[in-house]
Structure 1
Amino acid sequence: MAALARLMVIGFIVLTVIYVCLSLYSRAVRKGKLRAEWHEGPQDQPLEAFLEEGLEDYDKSLRRKLILSVYVIPVILVSVVIYLTNFA
């Protein structure tokens, strides 16, 4: 039982680090695309306002929610492996 608890704690820490890295990377990529879009198009509003509005839309997007699958998929895979190893 202690081994399972240790696996869960270490797994949660590793998955959190992966989630934070993916989240920051995805946000940086989106911010870069918004900057390029602002430079190419008409500058009706200041850059900071344009970025803020675009990142608010990003925060509500499906991509942002899919990054949470970093937690779900490994837990499901480990559960399936444990089940198949012990009960199948």
Structure 2
Amino acid sequence: MIALFRAGILAFVILTVVYLLVSIYSRSMRREKLEKEWDTDPAREGAAKDERATYIESGMQAYRHSLRRRLILLVYIIPMVVFLATVYVINAQ
């Protein structure tokens, strides 16, 4: 039982690291997409740097409330469900 508890804690720590890495990567990709979108729009040529920063910040604010950010939480849920299902099946035999 103690070994199961230790494995759960270790899995939680590993999944936290994976979640942080995936979250940082996704956030950086979104920011890069917003920057490219601003730079390639000919209507915004000659706009002030303040406008660009405001555009990117508003896009990142929208990302913080998006479904994609919430879906990254599946990094925790799916492995834990598989782990618990495996433990249940093995102990039920």
Shorter-chain TM-score tier? over 0.9
Name which one, 1 or 2, has greater alpha-carbon Rg.
Answer: 2
C-alpha distance in 2, partners of 1:5/1:60?
Answer: 34
Matched with 1:71 is 76
Matched with 2:54 is: 49
Question: Secondary structure at 1:4's aligned position in 2?
Answer: helix
- Compute the TM-score of the two structures, normalised by the length of structure 1: 0.93
Segments of 5+ residues of structure 1 without an aligned counterpart are none
Which consecutive segments of 4 or more residues in structure 1 shift more than 3 A?
none
Residue 23, structure 1, aligned to residue 23, structure 2 = yes
Number of residue pairs matched?
88
- Structure 1 Cα separation of the partners of residues 52 and 76 of structure 2: 34
Q: Percent identity?
A: 39
Give the Cα–Cα distance (whole angstroms) in 1 for the partners of residues 89 and 13 of structure 2: 25
Cα deviations by residue, 1:41-85 (Å, 9 ceiling, x for unpaired): 233662211111000000111100000011100110011111111
CA RMSD, 1 decimal: 1.2
Q: What TM-score do the two structures reach when normalised by structure 2?
A: 0.88
Secondary structure at the aligned position of 1:46 is classed as: helix
Whole-angstrom CA distance in 2 between matches of 1:55 and 1:9:
32
In structure 2, how many angstroms separate the alpha carbons of the residues matched to 1:82 and 1:52? 45
Q: Distance in 2 between matches of 1:80 and 1:4?
A: 13
